[in-house]
């Protein structure tokens, strides 16, 4: 089997958000798609281990912030590689609330949904959401998963539906890898004050890839 073909499927980069009793929660999702047009329904895939998964199940609503190519990469680092169990991911970023759901300012716009069905796989829950409302606020190029990989040099976390271990481990050469988020720095030496542009981790967590 040549599972590289899976990388020819297209994905975006989104922040899927919901709430727990005390705060807003959210995580990065790349599998978000419109399933029907009228009424509009949206399907998303969220790992069982993601805190956002259990919050959506309790709150029964979620929002999707559609990131663009100029979105601060720290948003991807924070929402993709940290857990809302431990921190309030929204604390560092501007956001507004629509239908009692958080939406990131630094995105093209949003879709809010009420959950109308779920399907469990071994690792992920597929949530089917009926759209409550949506808006487009910016005309910037939406961030594709390809852009995330090629330009931001981001990696798939293990909990991503599209994680493929053998492809993720292919990177070799004169490079340093962030052990928190997988970001790759290319060069002989890391600058002394280097901070991971994706997740904000310090230089010390980088390891040489050889
Ligand atoms: Fe990092």
**pLDDT score recorded for residue 174:** 83
For residues 27 and 86, state if they share a domain: yes
Residues 6+ apart with CB under 8 A from 30: 11, 12, 13, 14, 145, 148, 160, 161, 162
Residues 6+ apart with CB under 8 A from 7: 162, 164, 167
Compute, in angstroms, the gap from residue 30 CA to the centroid of ligand 1. 18
For residues 125 and 29, state if they share a domain: yes
Compute, in angstroms, the gap from residue 42 CA to the centroid of ligand 1. 30
For residues 132 and 192, state if they share a domain: no
Compute, in angstroms, the gap from residue 197 CA to the centroid of ligand 1. 7
Compute, in angstroms, the gap from residue 208 CA to the centroid of ligand 1. 14
Domain contains 1: no
The C-alpha atoms of residue 161 and residue 69 are separated, in whole angstroms, by 21
- Both tokens of 3, joined, read 């599972």
For residues 132 and 174, state if they share a domain: no
**pLDDT score recorded for residue 204:** 84
**pLDDT score recorded for residue 95:** 98
Domain contains 151: no
The C-alpha atoms of residue 123 and residue 127 are separated, in whole angstroms, by 13
Overall number of domains in the chain: 2
Domain contains 179: yes
- Which of these, 68, 30, 106, 82, lies nearest to 196 by C-alpha position? 82
* Residue 130 bridge partners (DSSP): 41, 114
Domain contains 162: no
**pLDDT score recorded for residue 165:** 64
Domain that holds residue 91: 11-146
CATH number at residue 73: 2.30.110.10
* Residue 98 bridge partners (DSSP): 101
**pLDDT score recorded for residue 179:** 79
For residues 119 and 175, state if they share a domain: no
- Which of these, 208, 62, 46, lies nearest to 129 by C-alpha position? 62
* Residue 184 bridge partners (DSSP): 177
Compute, in angstroms, the gap from residue 190 CA to the centroid of ligand 1. 13
Compute, in angstroms, the gap from residue 89 CA to the centroid of ligand 1. 15
Per-residue pLDDT tens digits of the chain, which is 210 residues long: 999 898 889 999 999 999 999 999 999 999 999 999 999 999 999 999 999 999 999 999 999 999 999 998 889 888 988 899 999 999 999 999 999 999 999 999 999 999 999 999 999 999 999 999 999 999 999 999 888 877 777 777 778 887 766 555 544 568 898 877 888 888 888 888 888 888 888 888 888 887
**pLDDT score recorded for residue 172:** 52
Residues with CB under 5 A from ligand 1 (ion): 178, 180-181, 183, 196, 198-199, 201
For residues 47 and 106, state if they share a domain: yes
Domain contains 184: yes
**pLDDT score recorded for residue 113:** 98
The C-alpha atoms of residue 184 and residue 196 are separated, in whole angstroms, by 9
Provide the 3-class DSSP secondary structure of residue 146. Answer: helix
Compute, in angstroms, the gap from residue 5 CA to the centroid of ligand 1. 27
- Both tokens of 44, joined, read 């998303």
Domain contains 163: no
């Amino acid at each position: 089997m040549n599972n590289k073909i899976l990388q020819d499927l297209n994905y975006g980069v989104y922040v899927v958000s919901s709430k727990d009793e005390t705060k807003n929660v959210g995580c990065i999702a790349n599998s978000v798609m419109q399933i029907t047009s009228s009424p509009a329904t949206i399907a998303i895939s969220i790992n069982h281990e993601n805190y956002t998964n259990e919050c959506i199940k309790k709150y029964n609503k979620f929002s999707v912030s559609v990131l663009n190519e100029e979105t601060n990469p720290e948003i991807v680092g924070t929402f993709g590689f940290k857990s809302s169990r431990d921190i309030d991911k929204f604390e560092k970023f501007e956001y507004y609330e629509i239908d009692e759901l958080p939406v990131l300012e630094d995105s093209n716009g949003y879709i809010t949904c009420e959950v109308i069905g779920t399907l469990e796989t071994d690792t992920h829950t597929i949530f089917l959401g009926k759209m409550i409302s949506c808006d487009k606020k910016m005309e910037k190029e939406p961030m594709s998963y390809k852009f995330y990989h090629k330009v931001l040099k981001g990696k798939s976390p293990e909990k991503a539906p599209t994680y493929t271990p053998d492809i993720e481990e292919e990177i070799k050469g004169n490079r340093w890898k962030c052990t928190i988020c997988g970001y790759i720095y290319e060069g002989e030496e890391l600058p002394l004050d280097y901070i991971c542009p994706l997740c904000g981790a310090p230089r010390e967590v980088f390891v040489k890839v050889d």
